[in-house]
Structure 1
Amino acid sequence: MYPKDKKINKNHFDICSSIHNLAKLNVEYFENNQQSSFQLFNSPIPLLGQTSKYATNQYLTELLRDTSQNTYILHTDNFQFSYLGVGLWEKESYIGAIIVGPFLSNLPDETFISYVMDKNNLSLGKKHQLDHYYKSLKVLSSPEYSSLGSLIVTLAANPFINANSLSSVNTNVIINDNRTTELDNEQVYSKIELRYSLERKLMNAVEKGLEEESFNILKSYPIGIYEGSSRNSLRSRKNIAFGLNTVLKLSAERGGVSPIYIHNVFDKFSILIEKLATVNAIDALQKTMISEYCDLVRKLSSDGHSPTIRKAIDYINLNFSTELALNTIADKIQISPFYLSRQFKKETNLSIVEYINRKRIEESKFLIKQNNHSITDIALMVGFQNHNYFCKVFKKMTTLTPKEYLNHK
């Protein structure tokens, strides 16, 4: 809706509003003095990225002033947030700019996030916040953002036309019922029953973390139920993969994994499925999905634990990189330290300290494999304040020193 502020150019607002509605991205308009005139938000930028966003706005508005007309600029900042900038001109005079974004030009996998954290010297405690925000952003390929940039340039160079709208409904369509009779109904029903039966078996296997059994069930997964004449239709295979992702998400939750961890994995695979271009790639991804969800259950399941211990485990898993102590955790979940210590040991067979150390060592293994940080830095990133103590705990749990583990991988 056009704001009742006469200082805002309606033509520019209509352009920005259309881009915002079509692309589902943040759009901001800057006047000639580099001041933001209005913003249309799709997803607010988290606090840790706001300084970079401000710098990007300053950089693009200055650069666009000296850029020729009919040009868009693609800018990617240190967080790998990408923005499109387009200058607005009137009689060859620069009058303002439109900045669209952020969006991503690469899928935010673990390597991507590790690179960003290293480049910006972020603590591991920021990983969850950053990962969550990345999963909410659109991923645009080169042809997609090129088309979007050209569209914005075209709109900016011409008066915006609010077109009249007409609608039509054809009431004379004759539905040919013969087409539906071509399908063998009994065969379709049989496939549907088989699919639901296998889904139940798959859920039972995944919720127990049984990876190999889940792979074997996947081999029998029926395709072709909703595919018409094209058995290997890419779109229908993607739909099956989306359904499998939902089944696996529910399985992991039934297996005792907190939705806090499942959410990001589910979103990641939803993005990956849509980006795939071949049936073989979808088949390979489905195996990866099963492997990762089973891994979640094996590593993060709190099934069989009381609500209190589940809260404690979730708090540790989300804050392991910070300084943790029994009293701190007990205070956060509002329970006495004595009861927490006794109940945690009873339900997990581990003391609070043992569980924290185990979590930190598991995370450190991932960072060591990336080989982007020194052993001392990794120790600090996962919550150890002492290099020697980290090495001692690491060897106790893995039988290898961190350096031996790096060379052994």
Structure 2
Amino acid sequence: MLSEEWEQLQKLLKFTYNYASIETVFFQSGVQIVWESGHIQVPEPLKGYFEDLRAMLQLQHSNAASHLLIHSTSYKLNFISSNLYKGTSYLGSIIVGPYLPGEPSTLLMHDIIFDNNLSIWLQPILEQYYLSLPLINEQKVNNISEFLAYLSESAQLSNHSVSTFEHVSYNFRSQNLLLSEAVKNKTDLSPAIIEERYRKENQLLSIIERGNQQQLQQFLKDGAWGKNDFPDRFPTDPLRSRKNLTFVSNTLLRKAAEKGGVHPVYIDSISEKFSIQIERSASVQQLSELQMKMYSEYCKLVNDLSLKPYSSTIRKAIEYIRLNLDKELSLDIIARAISASMYELSRQFKQETSQSIIDYINLLRIKSAVEMLENNYLSITDIAQIVGYNDVNYFIKVFKKTNGITPNQFRKNRRSIQQN
């Protein structure tokens, strides 16, 4: 086929796909897909039955007087094909489909399983796959067929002047009885593949829940969790499909962090951040990189902020301190806020954290101050007030006690390191 003819054919295929909104492929002589658009992924357990379905279609049906054919299979998966010619030479066929002529009900699934000698355990997988397929009524089938006829005649790729179409039916029951052992074994292994997929997911979520960053790095390094572990759920739009899966992942990671003992305020903040980034992603590659970032940040969040090891009283105390760090804090204020005895709170806090409440408050405030010292536009006084110190001299004293140098010296050292 000449390059000009191929360009013309590509335009014709794009027109067909845009009009029909159904998976469109071109089969050339030798039965090969040489162009496709809107690919719908066949679930792993069904590939032995459905993956090569187009290759079984009788595109040049011996009894057909028309170049337009409606293919009806015993799987209830239908196709429309249009044969293209250059003069009398057959170039190949445009195939539109699969599509369904009616709703994929449970009764229909039963009929498909019985009529095609399929295993009953495939029913839920069949249902999910069929729900992803377009429903096309008879009128739309006629419209698509007429559209194909018009395009091929306009492009002078038809040797038929009449745009009639004929029906061809297929029954795959006997063929499925003779399926190779390799296909049967592959199908039998599918439950194990699915189980393994979910086992790995649970293992990943368990690592996140524990905040084990080292184990997470090893898990991802070993390739235990790949970017293609789950099939597309929106097959005609790979980017949208991957976004949907990444949204689901964000939800699962959020729940893992919650189980890991992180306060919902922090979880909501990081979850919202990633939701925005997911929607703004412009490519599948960006989403894959974002997915890795999500694993890392959720794991770090649990590692830094988990309160799971502590008793209910101490969890409440720490949560109150973290959420009110910029306000006045004292043992008395915290005890009243969480309805606890000052004496018991002080004793229990020291026992569970190995430090006093005041030391813990100062530690968190100084940690926040260290991060803010990166901002050269904030004065030392500003930073002191932001992290909860009304007395800048007391702030400097506590900072020096914690870090060995004053805030000004710390900032100068940082600048010197950055310049070098």
TM-score by length of 2: 0.51
Q: Give yes or no for the alignment of 1:362 onto 2:364.
A: no
Q: Distance in 1 between the 2:188 and 2:409 partners? A: 60
Gaps of 5+ in 2: 1-99, 117-125, 130-175, 177-182
Residues 404 and 238 from structure 1, CA distance in 2 versus in 1: closer, same or farther, beyond 3 angstroms?
farther
Quick one: which of 199, 202, 215 aligns to 1:200?
202
Alpha-carbon separation, structure 2, partners of 1:321 and 1:290? 30
> Deviation of residue 328 (structure 1)?
0.5
Describe the SS at the equivalent of 1:373.
Answer: coil
1:290 to 295, 300, 309: 295
Aligned mates of 2:247, 2:397 — CA distance in 1: 44
* Rounded Cα–Cα distance in structure 2 between residues aligned with 1:215 and 1:384: 38
Contact kept? 1:237, 1:282, Cα under 8 Å: yes
For the residues of structure 2 that align with 1:301 and 1:380, how far apart are their CA atoms? 27
Cα distance in 2 for residues equivalent to 1:267 and 1:197: 27
SS at match of 1:266: helix
Q: Map 1:66-105 to 2 at 5 A.
A: none
Taking structure 1 as reference, are residues 206 and 405 closer, same or farther at Cα in structure 2, changes over 3 Å only? farther
Over 3 Å counting, the alpha-carbon distance change for 1:280 and 1:325 in structure 2 is same
Give the 3 Å change call, closer, same or farther, for CA 232–362 of structure 1 in structure 2: farther
- Find the partner of 1:347 among 346, 352, 367: 352
Q: After the TM superposition, which of the residue ranges 387-396 and 220-229 deviates more from structure 2?
A: 220-229
Contact 1:232 1:279 in 2 (8 A): no
Q: For 1:9-35, what per-residue CA distance to the aligned partner results, in whole angstroms no more than 9, with x for missing partners?
A: xxxxxxxxxxxxxxxxxxxxxxxxxxx
Given the alignment of the two structures, is residue 247 of structure 1 paired with residue 176 of structure 2, yes or no?
A: no
Determine which of 304, 311, 326 is the counterpart of 2:309. Answer: 304
- Structure 1-normalised TM-score? 0.52
Once residues 193 and 241 of structure 2 are traced to their aligned partners in structure 1, the CA distance between those partners, rounded to angstroms, is 15
Amino acid at match of 1:220: A
Taking the aligned partners of 1:298 and 1:262, their CA distance within structure 2 comes to 13
Q: Which secondary structure does the structure 2 equivalent of 1:207 belong to?
A: helix
Superimposed CA distance per residue, residues 31-56 of structure 1 (whole angstroms, 9 cap, x where no aligned partner): xxxxxxxxxxxxxxxxxxxxxxxxxx
Asked whether the equivalents of residues 391 and 402 of structure 1 are also in contact (C-alpha less than 8 Å), the reply is yes
* Residue 367 to residue 249, structure 1, CA distance change in 2 (3 Å): same
**Residues 128-207 of structure 1: pairs in structure 2 closer than 5 A:** 173=102, 185=187, 189-207=191-209
Q: CA deviation at 1:372?
A: 3.1
Q: What is the deviation of 1:174?
A: 7.2
Which residue of the partner structure matches residue 270 of structure 1?
Answer: 275
Paired positions, count: 240
Look up the SS of the partner of 2:289 in the other structure. helix
Q: Which residue of 2 aligns with 1:375?
A: 380
Aligned to 1:395: 400
Report the residue type matching 1:355 in the other structure.
Answer: Y
d(CA) in 1 for partners of 2:103, 2:296 = 48
- Cα shift at 1:226: 2.5
Equivalent residue number for residue 227 of structure 1: 232
8 Å Cα contact 1:257/1:300 also seen in 2: yes
Distance apart, 1:340 and its partner CA: 0.7
1:358–1:193 distance in 2 versus 1, CA, 3 Å: same
- 1:98-126 CA distances to partner (integer Å, 9 max, x unpaired)? xxxxxxxxxxxxxxxxxxxxxxxxxxxxx
TM-superposition CA deviations, 1:152-191 (whole Å, max 9, x none): xxxxxxxxxxxxxxxxxxx952769699699975565444
**1:228 offset after TM fit, Å?**
7.3
Distance 1:382 1:304 in 2: 26
**Larger Rg computed on CA atoms:** 2
| Counterpart pick for 1:326 among 311, 315, 331 | 331
- Cα distance in 2 between the residues matched to 1:330 and 1:300: 21
2:321 to 303, 310, 316: 316
Give the Cα–Cα distance (whole angstroms) in 2 for the partners of residues 352 and 398 of structure 1. 19
TM-aligned CA distance change 1:186 to 1:382, over 3 Å: farther
Aligned partners of 1:245 and 1:251: how far apart in 2? 10
Residue 381 of structure 1, CA deviation: 0.6
The residue type paired with residue 217 of structure 2 is F
What is the distance in 2 between the residues matched to 1:291 and 1:213? 11
In structure 1, the partner of 2:136 is none
Distance of 2:241 and 2:409 partners within structure 1 = 47
Q: How much does 1:325 deviate? A: 0.7
- Say if 2:234 and 2:240, in contact at 8 Å, map to a contact too: no
1:254-283: CA deviation from partner (whole Å, max 9, x where unpaired): 221122321221122122111111122112
Sort the Cα spacing of 1:399 and 1:210 in 2 relative to 1 into closer, same or farther, 3 A.
farther
- Mark the CA change 1:321 to 1:269 in structure 2 (over 3 Å): closer, same or farther: same
Q: Give the C-alpha shift of residue 290 in structure 1.
A: 2.2
Calculate the aligned-residue CA RMSD, in Å.
3.2
- In 2, the alpha carbon distance for the partners of 1:185 and 1:232 equals 27
CA contact (8 A) 1:309 1:344 kept: yes
The reply on whether 1:237 has 2:242 as its aligned counterpart is: yes
Q: In structure 2, do the counterparts of structure 1 residues 250 and 402 end up closer, same or farther at CA, with 3 Å as the change threshold?
A: same
Q: Distance in 2 between matches of 1:277 and 1:398?
A: 43
Q: Give 1:207 shift.
A: 2.2
Q: Partners in 2 of 1:186 and 1:232 — Cα distance?
A: 30
